[in-house]
Every structure is written in structure tokens, then in C-alpha cells.
Amino acid sequence: MSALNIKKGSSSHSAYDLRDPNAVVIEQHTLAVLVDNESGVLARVIGLFSGRGYNIDSLTVAEVDHAGHRSRITVVTRGTPQVIEQIKAQLARMVPVHDVHDLTAEGPAVQRELALFKVAGKGDARIEALRLAEIFRANVVDSTLESFVFEITGTPEKIDAFGDLMRPLGLVEIARTGVAALARGV
Amino acid sequence: MTKAANMTMTGARMVVQALKDHGVEVVFGYPGGAVLPIYDEIFQQNDIRHILVRHEQGAVHMAEGYARSTGKPGVVLVTSGPGATNAVTGLTDALLDSIPLVVLTGQVPTFMIGTDGFQEADTIGITRPCTKHNWLVKDTADLASTIHTAFHVATSGRPGPVLIDIPKDVQFATAQYTTKEISRAPHYQPRVKGDMEQITRLVEMMEAAERPVFYTGGGVINSGPEASRILRELVAGTDFPITSTLMGLGSYPASGKNWLGMLGMHGLYEANLAMHGCDLMINVGARFDDRITGRVKDFSPHSKKAHIDIDPSSINKVIRVDVPIVGDVGNVLADVLALWKSRGSKTNKAGLAKWWKQINEWRAVECLNYKPSTKTIKPQYALQRLEALTKGMDRYITTEVGQHQMWAAQYLGFEDPNRWMTSGGLGTMGYGLPASIGVQIAHPEALVVNVAGEASWLMNMQEMGTAMQFRAPVKQFILNNERLGMVRQWQELLHGERYSHSWSESLPDFVKLAEAFGCKGLKCSDPKDLDDAIMEMIRYDGPVIFDCLVEKHENCFPMIPSGKPHNEMLLGEADTQGVIGAKGAVLV
């Protein structure tokens, strides 16, 4: 009774169906998760993402209500619509989680990120870097004769664009905070 | 208010006091350096019984058996480091099967955490993904309220295991005891009542459906006996067919006329074809597990699907459903039943009659037929005899994991919930023996049988010592084929009969092993002697290890091969009896 005649190497050898039943429609969503600021809560949320194979594009966390010990986690993730729904449901059922908001699905939202760029250079490159920084409304927060540190806030796309322009002008280092986001209106 | 209100006491005493406040009668555990203060408190009281296990994994499975057979949370107490890591398999098992447990672990003193102290492990980190929630208590003043919250979290919503890590200095220090009543209400309050709009949609579909089927799961059992009672009333009223997952067996009686048997990879032909061919699937507390759905793309292609589940993350996780209902199964079923009755108890009688005619044709295939033997004991025969000889007794069954588990699910009939304890989600070999002890501790007078395979059974056999010490007369019914039967079956069917490491060599003499533990050993290899041997096992007043030597190369059928839909089921050896007519493996 060995009559299944399955080709060697076929996934039918597996005890699981190895084909991903989800269609490949990938969406990016920004989620705001309000949690009790108890020890290990961030590890719990990150562990959920890594353990279940979800993606994190960006993650920020800070206590936003010191009296109530509540932290806000803003996580930018991507996946099929079904996976996004799963992520929200999995987050919402965690014991320290109070609220999960899908800022992408629940209407317009503002998203901002802060970044620091260290750019080293002399002569024309240095002047060009400063000129571009003005266009992007970046502030100079540190300066030596050979370098600047620019502080810039904006959408991740704006920061990416600024980085692309700085690269040929002597970009040394970047630090980014990740996205913070709020729904527009009340 | 309990006497303990406003009393100042040590953390160790708080643990015992809080357990008492939650009505805990039994704790399964194993002492060690980091929990000595708590063991000292246990020594000085008589309200809570402590069952000393032989390995911490055994403690957790015992607590699972206790919890599943009583509906109450199981409680475990183990030490730090290896005590906690040994509990991890049990925690994961309980998480996947949604079993309420409260596990207390000792930890090195707070000031030593992070120094790689003796028997230090990052218990919270290790158990974070295998508990519903866990807590490290750093201040004795928080200990009692944390335990109260832990019981609430373990038992509400979708139940699950929780863990509290208690450093040794926190056990020694004193603080004021916080009673349950004055403890802050946890914000964790899962929704239990279903949305009436969705319930109305479901009832409308039920009234019109031509080919409906109830697909029930462990959620019905977890919801409590009342959920099973309402389910039975709903099935009787509508006359819809009903099937169940491995986890849900007993919520509807196996003797009930609408019962199709278990569904899934080794489910019954009629159950799986009803799932495939239905036009309305009503999922009650099940989760579309991959052992149930087979190939997702072809899962029940022509049906509308309703899904009742207390866990919103179960809904639309694997299978898109048309009517999602988040709520407690018992609560939602009561609403469904009441609404369906108030609208005149209507069903599509003509459609149902045709559907039952079709189902009865599938039933006539008698998919559980096997080739009987007068020379060797067929495992199916052994279970049929066990069923016949224990029918009507106050009986609880636990199992290990593998072929014997599937045969037990197929050939034993469960009339009531909480009578069947098996590791479903995680498939933990070594579960059944300790689980049977946990069940027996909760039900001292009942007949508790662990249907086992010899390979699984050996994984936690040390717990026979626990059974002896605490006079738990558990019956270990080992279907011994000297093989890792399920692995062997997959190798035969899918890996070109290359039997890589799937036989059990150097097995112990189980009768002598029983004698070594001080209990009774029985051995049977002749079908003619089987009934007498089973009766001897049942009648013996104490634990029994029954070595039932069965056919070595029997395969478990029906079987849906991996990645196949429900209608491509192998009936296997039944074919040789001409039931289907074709030779060899037949794809129905």
C-alpha cells in the first residue's frame, strides 16, 4: 500500500500543505497599539510578530500616559489583507493590550518620523548639503568645519528622499526614530 | 471578605492563601531551592493537597488532565531553572488546546536576576510565547493581586495557561495580603455575548439550508456542560447532522442519531464528505486546524460558513467565513436556539431528507471496517473490546499521541463532555500517562484508562511512581506494536517504505516494569484472551500496566493525505474487503 506515487522532492511529502493559500496582495498598514507599560510588553509584541512570521517595517514605543502607565506602540507592518486582520486580532487579544487602531484603514492619519543625518564634506558639496537641507526644512543641530548633523521630520518617504540626496554629498550616518502616527480630526 | 483581609504575611504564605481563596484543592508540583519557602507553607496546612510528581512535564500534564476533566483550572508549582524549562512542553500543550492552568515557578532572588545564578533561567522570556500571559513579581505587595489576575486570565475568554515567576526574596518578604474582592478588576474582559445581527443571519441560513452540518470543537467543552446541553437541544430540534474535532468529542453523544463521528485527517468518511458537500457549515468552537481542513483551497467549496468562537483571532485565520460570531459558545448557542424557536423552529425538511439519504449512503461504506484476525490482536479490535467492556461505566479516557490516539477517537464512544483528554494541537507524546493521573486525582472513584502506544508511554513512564504514591488506580492500556506506528505509516505511504528509525527496540518487559513500580502488569497477545485480560485490568484495585501486543503493521484509516481535500480520502485496508472495490490505495 505504497501507492501514492508522489514524486521525490514534491511538497506532498510534507505533513503540511506547503502552498501558501494567500494571494500575494501585500498592503502596508500603520497600527497604533495602546498597552500597559509593564515589563516585557514590548518583547511580547515583538515576539508575536516574529513568532507568527509577520513583518515589522517600523516600530516606535514610548509611555504616553505616565499616570496610567500606558505606552503607545506604533508599528508599520505589511501583509495580505487576511494577515493584517490576523495581526490586529492577535494584538487585540493580548492581555496587556487595551486598544488596536489601524490608522491606514480607519481614515486619514498623519505619520511623522524624525531622523538625524551626519554629512561630512568640504567646499561645494558642503554648501549643496546645506542648501538641500533648507529645502527640506531640516535643522542643523551640530556643526564642525567638516560636518553637519541635520535633524529632519517628515513622512518616511521624505526622509528616504533626503537620504538619497545626501548620499553623494558625504553622508556618514543616519539615525531614524521610526514612525509616530495619529488619526486626523477627532 | 476572607479572614486574610488586611493581614500582613510572607509572600510564600500569600501564595497558599491565594490558592485557597480560589478554591484550589490540588497542586501538582516538585520542590527545589527557589520554591522552598512556598513548600514550607504547604507543609504547614492541610487544605491544599500536593501531588509530588517525578518530572515537571508530568506535573503540567497532570494539571491539564485535572482541568479538562473538572472544568476547573489546574495548578502547578515548580522551581526555577530546570523546573521551569521542564514545564515548557506542558505549557505549550495547554496553550494549543486552550486548557486553563496557573503555573507558579520559583526564581532566584531579584538582586541575582541576570547574574547567571544557580538554577537561573529567563523563565518569563522562555515561557512568553507558550503562555496566555505571564508575570514576574518583583514586589511582595503585588503578589496576591497578581495571582488573582492570573486565575481570571487563565479561565476567562479562551482559556489557557498562565505563569507567575516568584523570586525567592519575594517569597520571604512580608506585605499586606490583597484579597480577591479588593484586588483591582483586570481590564481583560473578553466578549461573551454574540452579535444578534450575525446570530439572526445564521438562524435565517439554518432555516433555508438544504445540506447543513454542525462542526463542533473543544470550545463547546471549554464553555462548560451547559453549552453541550444546548448544543444537543439544537441538534435534536433541527435534525442537522453533527461532527466534531478530536478536541470536541463528547459534547454531542456518540450514541446520538445525528452523530457522524469525528472529522479530519483520520476522521470518518461520512463526516468528511458531509463537510465537503454541505451548503451550510456551522463551526461551533473549532478553529479550522490544518488536520481538519486538508487543502484549504478545496475546503468545503460550496458552503456558506458560520463560525462561533470566543477568540476573534480564530475567525478568518485560515478559512474565510460568511457569518463570524465572536462570543462564548454556550451564550451564543442559547441565543441561536431561542431565536430559531421564536421564529417557528423552521428547517428545510425536504432538503434535509435528501441530505440524510446521501449521508446514510456514505455511512453504509462503513469506513471503520478493518480486516479482523483470529491470530493477532488488531488495535481496532482491542479498542472495540475496551469500549464494549467499559460502556456505561464512570469512565475517563486519556491518550498518548499517534495511531492509537486516532483509533481511540474512532472506536471509543463518548457520551458526555470532559471524559476525553488528548493532546490535540501540540500532539505531545508522553501526555497520556500523567494526564490520566491528574484525572484520577480529580475523580478517585472513576475508571481512568490511558490508551497508549508503547513509544509515547515510555516518554513519561516515571510518573507510574506518582500513581503508586498517591494511589491513583490508572489503567495504562498500551497498544504495543513495537513501532512508532504513525511515523511508520507515513514512511510507508509517503517515503517509499524507508522505515527510518521508526521501530521501538530494546523495549522493557512491561509486566516486570509494573512489578518494579509495585503495580500490576498484564500482557495479552491472543484475541481470545483479550476480554478476560481487560476485565482483570478494570477489576484490579490499583494502577495497571497492560501490555497489549497488537498487529505490528496496521495502518490507521480513513486518512486524508496531506494537502488533499476531504473528498480525496484513503479508505485503505477497507478496500481489500471490497467495500470500495478497487485494489490498493483508492482516492475516493
Question: A114 and A89 share a domain?
Answer: no
Inter-chain residue contact A95 with B136, CB threshold 8 Å: no
- For B24-38, the pLDDT digits (tens) are 999 999 999 999 999
All three cell numbers of B322, joined, read 460568511
Question: A56 and A124 share a domain?
Answer: no
Is B445 within a domain?
Answer: yes
Is A12 within a domain?
Answer: no
Cβ contacts of B182-190, under 8 Å, gap ≥ 24: B182/B5, B183/B144, B183/B145, B183/B148, B183/B149, B184/B145, B186/A95, B186/B149, B186/B152, B186/B153, B187/A98, B188/A95, B188/B149, B188/B152, B188/B153, B188/B156, B188/B157, B189/B156, B190/A93, B190/B156, B190/B157, B190/B158, B190/B310, B190/B311
pLDDT band at B585 (very low <50, low <70, confident <90, very high): very low
Question: A144 and A174 share a domain?
Answer: yes
Other CB atoms closer than 10 Å to residue A9's CB: what's the count?
Answer: 7
Question: B171 and B223 share a domain?
Answer: no
pLDDT band at A20 (very low <50, low <70, confident <90, very high): low
The pLDDT assigned to B184 comes to 76
Tell me how far apart the alpha carbons of residues B240 and B279 are, in angstroms, rounded to a whole number. 12
Question: A48 and A77 share a domain?
Answer: yes
Residue B489 pLDDT greater than 70, yes or no: yes
User: End-to-end CA distance of chain B, in Å?
Assistant: 64
Task: Kindly state the average pLDDT of the residues A121-143.
Answer: 96
Known catalytic membership, residue B7: no
Domain boundary, last residue among A102, A132, A164: A102
Is B565 within a domain?
Answer: no
Give the minimum alpha-carbon distance from A90 to chain B in angstroms, rounded to a whole number: 6
Chain B environment of A15 (Cβ under 8 Å): 490, 562
Count of structural domains, chain A: 2
Question: B28 and B164 share a domain?
Answer: yes
Provide the 8-state DSSP code for B483. B
Using CB atoms, pick whichever of B128, B187, B585 lies closest to residue A98.
B187
Chain A environment of B490 (Cβ under 8 Å): 15
Question: A93 and A121 share a domain?
Answer: no
Q: How far is CA B142 from CA B14, B101, B137, B173, B397, in A?
A: 10, 20, 7, 12, 40
Residue A1 pLDDT greater than 80, yes or no: no
The pLDDT assigned to B345 comes to 97
Inter-chain residue contact B320 with A89, CB threshold 8 Å: no
Domain boundary, last residue among B363, B395, B419: B363
Write down the catalytic residue from B119, B176, B462, B577: B119
- Helix runs in B29-139, H state only: 36-43, 56-70, 82-86, 88-96, 123-127
- What are φ and ψ of residue B106, in 5° steps? -80, 160
All three cell numbers of B149, joined, read 489576575
Is A68 within a domain?
Answer: yes
- Helix runs in B495-543, H state only: 510-517, 527-539
Name residues 444-503 of chain B within 8 A of A (Cβ).
490, 492-497
Chain A environment of B152 (Cβ under 8 Å): none
Measuring CA to CA, which residue among B344, B334, B25, B292 is closest to residue B193? Answer: B334
Inter-chain residue contact B492 with A2, CB threshold 8 Å: yes
Q: What's the whole-number average pLDDT of chain B?
A: 95
Task: Kindly state the average pLDDT of the residues B294-317.
Answer: 95
Question: B17 and B86 share a domain?
Answer: yes
The answer to whether B190 contacts chain A (CB < 8 Å) is yes
Task: Kindly state the average pLDDT of the residues B528-557.
Answer: 97
Residue whose entry in the numeric block shows the C-alpha cell 479490535: B381
Q: Are strands A109-120 and A147-154 parallel, antiparallel or unpaired?
A: antiparallel
- For B119-157, the pLDDT digits (tens) are 999 999 999 999 999 999 999 999 999 999 999 999 999
- What are φ and ψ of residue A35, in 5° steps? -130, 160
Of A31-40, A98-107, B289-298, B414-423, the range with the lowest mean pLDDT is: B289-298
Using CB atoms, pick whichever of A1, A44, A86 lies closest to residue B572.
A1
Give the minimum alpha-carbon distance from A39 to chain B in angstroms, rounded to a whole number: 8
- For B501-533, the pLDDT digits (tens) are 999 999 999 999 999 999 999 999 999 999 999
Question: A33 and A79 share a domain?
Answer: yes
Task: Kindly state the average pLDDT of the residues A30-44.
Answer: 95
Write down the catalytic residue from B118, B371, B391, B393: B118
Known catalytic membership, residue B43: no
Map residue A76 onto helix, strand or coil: strand
All three cell numbers of B26, joined, read 490540588
The answer to whether B427 contacts chain A (CB < 8 Å) is no
Residue A4 pLDDT greater than 70, yes or no: no
Q: Report the CATH number that the domain containing residue B219 is assigned in CATH.
A: 3.40.50.1220
ipTM: 0.89
Give the minimum alpha-carbon distance from B186 to chain A in angstroms, rounded to a whole number: 9
Chain A environment of B133 (Cβ under 8 Å): 94-96
pLDDT band at B319 (very low <50, low <70, confident <90, very high): very high
Is A159 within a domain?
Answer: yes
The answer to whether B3 contacts chain A (CB < 8 Å) is no
Q: Report the CATH number that the domain containing residue A139 is assigned in CATH.
A: 3.30.70.1150
Using CB atoms, pick whichever of A1, A93, A95 lies closest to residue B584.
A1
Is B373 within a domain?
Answer: no
The pLDDT assigned to B185 comes to 73
pLDDT band at A17 (very low <50, low <70, confident <90, very high): low
Question: A116 and A64 share a domain?
Answer: no
Tell me how far apart the alpha carbons of residues B151 and B78 are, in angstroms, rounded to a whole number. 17
Using CB atoms, pick whichever of A11, A44, A93 lies closest to residue B311.
A93
Domain boundary, last residue among B125, B146, B176: B176
Inter-chain residue contact A40 with B129, CB threshold 8 Å: no
The answer to whether B189 contacts chain A (CB < 8 Å) is no
Is A13 within a domain?
Answer: no
Name residues 303-362 of chain B within 8 A of A (Cβ).
311-313, 315-317, 320
Known catalytic membership, residue B299: no
Domain boundary, last residue among A102, A122, A147: A102
Question: B388 and B527 share a domain?
Answer: yes
Task: Kindly state the average pLDDT of the residues B81-110.
Answer: 98
Structural domain span for residue A37:
24-102
Using CB atoms, pick whichever of A2, A47, A92 lies closest to residue B497.
A2
Tell me how far apart the alpha carbons of residues B417 and B435 are, in angstroms, rounded to a whole number. 16
Known catalytic membership, residue B172: no
The pLDDT assigned to B182 comes to 83
The pLDDT assigned to A25 comes to 86
The answer to whether B562 contacts chain A (CB < 8 Å) is yes
Residue A3 pLDDT greater than 60, yes or no: no
Let me know if B386 is exposed, middle or buried by CB neighbors in 10 A (0-12, 13-18, 19+).
buried
The answer to whether B232 contacts chain A (CB < 8 Å) is no
The pLDDT assigned to B183 comes to 79
Question: B529 and B390 share a domain?
Answer: yes
Is A16 within a domain?
Answer: no
The pLDDT assigned to B2 comes to 53
Is A5 within a domain?
Answer: no
Question: A64 and A115 share a domain?
Answer: no
| Chain A: residues touching B (Cβ < 8 Å) | 1-4, 6, 11-19, 21, 39-40, 43-44, 47, 51, 82, 85-86, 89-90, 92-96, 98
Task: Kindly state the average pLDDT of the residues B405-427.
Answer: 98
Count of structural domains, chain B: 3
Give the minimum alpha-carbon distance from A98 to chain B in angstroms, rounded to a whole number: 8
Question: B159 and B215 share a domain?
Answer: no
Structural domain span for residue B210:
196-363
The answer to whether B563 contacts chain A (CB < 8 Å) is yes
Is A48 within a domain?
Answer: yes
Tell me how far apart the alpha carbons of residues B471 and B458 are, in angstroms, rounded to a whole number. 20
Question: B530 and B417 share a domain?
Answer: yes
Tell me how far apart the alpha carbons of residues B552 and B483 are, in angstroms, rounded to a whole number. 7
Q: Are strands B259-262 and B49-52 parallel, antiparallel or unpaired?
A: unpaired
Question: B384 and B326 share a domain?
Answer: no
Is B351 within a domain?
Answer: yes
Chain A environment of B572 (Cβ under 8 Å): 1
Give Cβ neighbours of residue B418 (< 8 Å, ≥ 6 apart).
Answer: B68, B69, B70, B71, B221, B225, B250
Is B507 within a domain?
Answer: yes
Question: A91 and A131 share a domain?
Answer: no
Chain A environment of B309 (Cβ under 8 Å): none
The pLDDT assigned to B486 comes to 96
Using CB atoms, pick whichever of A16, A51, A95 lies closest to residue B133.
A95
Is B560 within a domain?
Answer: no
Question: A131 and A168 share a domain?
Answer: yes
Is B3 within a domain?
Answer: no
Write down the catalytic residue from B17, B64, B120, B168: B168
Is A1 within a domain?
Answer: no
Domain boundary, last residue among B176, B207, B231: B176
Known catalytic membership, residue B118: yes
Tell me how far apart the alpha carbons of residues B211 and B354 are, in angstroms, rounded to a whole number. 8
Residue B580 pLDDT greater than 90, yes or no: no
Domain boundary, last residue among A49, A71, A102: A102
Inter-chain residue contact A89 with B315, CB threshold 8 Å: yes
Q: Report the CATH number that the domain containing residue B170 is assigned in CATH.
A: 3.40.50.970
Interface size A-B, in CB pairs within 8 Å, comes to 81
CB B134 within 8 A of CB B162: yes
The pLDDT assigned to B575 comes to 44
Question: B148 and B205 share a domain?
Answer: no
Question: A114 and A88 share a domain?
Answer: no
The pLDDT assigned to B572 comes to 76
pTM score of the predicted model = 0.93
Is B414 within a domain?
Answer: yes
Residue B106 pLDDT greater than 70, yes or no: yes
Question: A145 and A168 share a domain?
Answer: yes
